């Protein structure tokens, strides 16, 4: 193989990103949706304990931790299927776009679940969270403020969820993708 063929083989193309981004994003988006549903129904079926640690509060951290590694998995997939050579900036783009796909897929599945299977899902979660807050030992003004905050957060529109979800999930995946580049990507000889 001559030098020109080698240069063409490792030439970057944004179109080559999308299979890795979509495959890994879809898998982690589905995992995020299923985990959210699992913890949501755990919250609905739980008794009010008055504890700050309920299934709804624990789920956010767990889902965020699980989906944060999608950036690294995307880099791994890209280096195995497309090219073993990847720069940090390209890895960052892979990670951020994977986070965006995860957010969109998870949100679409959640909206479909509420629309088709359980239209009262969000209301049942809110009622369960409010019952748990009411069981907490705190001043009534603080309790009322906490209830109002929770009610406002449950009323977020899909666009608002995308507005916050894409940057946050994208940033976490950008970071893990950079770690993935350091672990999985090979360096070109001219970069050494």
Per-residue pLDDT of 10-56, as tens digits, reads 555 778 889 999 999 999 999 999 999 999 999 999 888 877 788 87
2 domain residue, yes or no:
no
* H/E segment holding residue 182: helix 158-184
Give Rg (Cα) of the chain.
Answer: 21
Q: Are 150 and 130 in contact (CB under 8 A)?
A: yes
Q: Are 55 and 39 in contact (CB under 8 A)?
A: yes
6 domain residue, yes or no:
no
Q: How far apart are CA 75 and CA 71, in angstroms?
A: 6
Q: Which residues does 66 contact at the CB level (< 8 Å), separation at least 6?
A: 28, 31, 32, 35
The whole domain housing 125 covers 15-187
4 domain residue, yes or no:
no
Which residue has better confidence, 7 or 164?
A: 164
pLDDT digits (tens, 9 = 90+) for 69-117: 999 999 999 999 999 999 999 999 999 999 999 999 999 999 999 999 9
Number of domains in the chain: 1
22 domain residue, yes or no:
yes
pLDDT digits (tens, 9 = 90+) for 141-167: 888 888 788 777 776 777 888 888 999
8 domain residue, yes or no:
no
Scanning 2-69, the segments in alpha helix (DSSP H) are: 3-9, 18-44, 55-68
51 domain residue, yes or no:
yes
pLDDT at 170: 95
Q: What is the phi-psi region of residue 2: left when phi exceeds 0, alpha when psi lies from -120 to 50, beta otherwise?
A: beta
Q: What is the dihedral of CA 30, 31, 35, 38, to 10 degrees?
A: 60
1 domain residue, yes or no:
no
7 domain residue, yes or no:
no
pLDDT of 6 > 50? The answer is: no
């Amino acid at each position: 193989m001559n030098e020109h063929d080698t240069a063409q083989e490792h030439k970057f193309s944004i179109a080559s990103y999308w299979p890795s981004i979509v495959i890994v994003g879809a898998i982690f988006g589905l995992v995020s949706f299923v985990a959210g549903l699992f913890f949501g129904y755990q919250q609905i079926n739980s008794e009010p304990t008055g504890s700050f640690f309920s299934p709804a509060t624990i789920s956010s951290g767990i889902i965020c931790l699980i989906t944060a590694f999608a950036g690294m998995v995307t880099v791994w997939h890209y280096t195995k299927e497309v090219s073993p050579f990847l720069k940090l900036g390209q890895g960052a783009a892979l990670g951020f776009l994977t986070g965006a796909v995860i957010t969109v897929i998870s949100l679409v599945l959640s909206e479909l679940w509420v629309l088709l299977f359980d239209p009262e899902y969000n209301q049942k979660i809110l009622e369960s969270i409010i019952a748990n807050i009411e069981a907490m030992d705190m001043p009534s003004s603080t309790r009322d403020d906490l209830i109002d905050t929770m009610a406002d957060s449950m009323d977020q529109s899909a666009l608002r969820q995308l507005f916050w979800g894409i940057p946050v999930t994208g940033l976490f995946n950008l970071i893990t993708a950079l770690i993935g580049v350091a672990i999985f990507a090979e360096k070109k000889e001219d970069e050494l």
